[in-house]
Amino acid sequence: MNKNKIKIISFENCIELGRNVDKHLQKEFNNNKSNLINVVCSRFINGEGKLYIDESIEDKDLYIISDVGNYSITYNLYGIEHNMSPDEHFQDIKRVISASNGRFKKIVVIMPLLYQSRQHRRKERESLDCALALQELENLGVNKIITFDCHDPNVSNAIPNLPFENYYASDIIINSIKKNHKLLNERTLVISPDMGAMERARYYAERIKCDVGLFYKRRDLSKVVNGKNPIIEHVYLGKNPKDLTVLVIDDMIASGGSMIDVAKKLKEEGASKVVLVATFSLFTNGINVFEEAYEANIFDELYTTNLTYIPKEFNKYKWLKIVDCSKQISQIIYGDSTGTEVDITDEEDINPEFNKESKNE
DSSP 3-state of 250: strand
Give me the pLDDT at residue 182, please: 82
Range name among 122-131, 136-145, 249-258, 263-272 with the lowest pLDDT average:
122-131
What is the model's pLDDT at position 43?
A: 92
pLDDT at 361: 33
Which has the higher per-residue pLDDT, 119 or 68?
A: 68
Q: How far apart are CA 211 and CA 151, in angstroms?
A: 24
pLDDT at residue 196 above 60? yes
Output 45 or 180, whichever has higher pLDDT.
45
Q: Inter-axis angle of helices 129-139 and 86-100, to 10 degrees? A: 10
pLDDT in tens, 350-359: 333 434 333 3
pLDDT, average across residues 125-135: 92
pLDDT of residue 355: 41
Residue 151's pLDDT is 86
How far, CA to CA in Å, does 359 sit from each of 173, 349, 351? 15, 10, 11
Calculate what percentage of the chain has a pLDDT beyond 90. Answer: 71
The phi, psi pair for 317, rounded to 5°, reads: -85, 110
Please report the pLDDT score of residue 195 as a whole number. 84
For residues 173 and 327, is the Cβ–Cβ distance under 8 A? no
More confident residue, 228 or 93: 93
The H-assigned helical ranges of 46-121 are 86-100
What confidence score (pLDDT) does residue 219 get?
Answer: 74
pLDDT at position 360 is 34
The rounded distance, in Å, linking the Cα atoms of 175 and 351 is 13
**In 3-state terms, what secondary structure has residue 123?**
coil
Report pLDDT for 345: 61
Report the chain's terminal Cα–Cα distance, integer Å: 44
CATH classification code of 170-323: 3.40.50.2020
pLDDT reading at 155 higher than 90:
yes
Domain ranges of the chain: 3-167+325-338, 170-323
What span, in angstroms and rounded, lies between the C-alpha atoms of 16 and 287?
Answer: 22
Could you say which DSSP state residue 287 is in? S
Residue 225 has pLDDT above 90, yes or no: no
Question: What whole-number distance in Å separates Cα of residue 240 and Cα of residue 100?
Answer: 57
Tens-place pLDDT, residues 96-107? 999 988 778 899
**Per-residue confidence band for 217, with pLDDT thresholds at 50, 70 and 90:** confident
Tell me the pLDDT band of 4, cut-offs 50, 70 and 90. Answer: low
pLDDT value of position 224:
80
Q: What pLDDT digit, counting tens, does each position of 33-66 carry?
A: 999 999 999 999 999 999 999 888 888 899 999 9
What pLDDT is attached to residue 237?
A: 87
Q: What's residue 56's pLDDT?
A: 84
Cβ atoms 308, 253 nearer than 8 A = no
Nearest to 131 by CA among 156, 163, 149: 156
Question: What mean pLDDT is reported for the chain?
Answer: 89
**Of the listed ranges 19-33, 117-131, 195-209, the one predicted with least confidence:** 117-131
The correct answer on CATH 3.40.50.2020 for the domain covering 3-167+325-338 is yes
Q: What is the pLDDT of residue 185?
A: 81
Given its phi and psi angles, is residue 174 left (phi above 0), alpha (psi -120 to 50 degrees) or beta?
alpha
The least confident of 210-214, 291-295, 323-327, 344-348 is 344-348
SS3 (DSSP) at 233? strand
- For 204, the enclosing helix (H) or strand (E) is helix 198-208
Domains 3-167+325-338 and 170-323 share a fold: yes
C-alpha distance from residue 265 to each of 112, 286, 314 (Å): 31, 22, 26
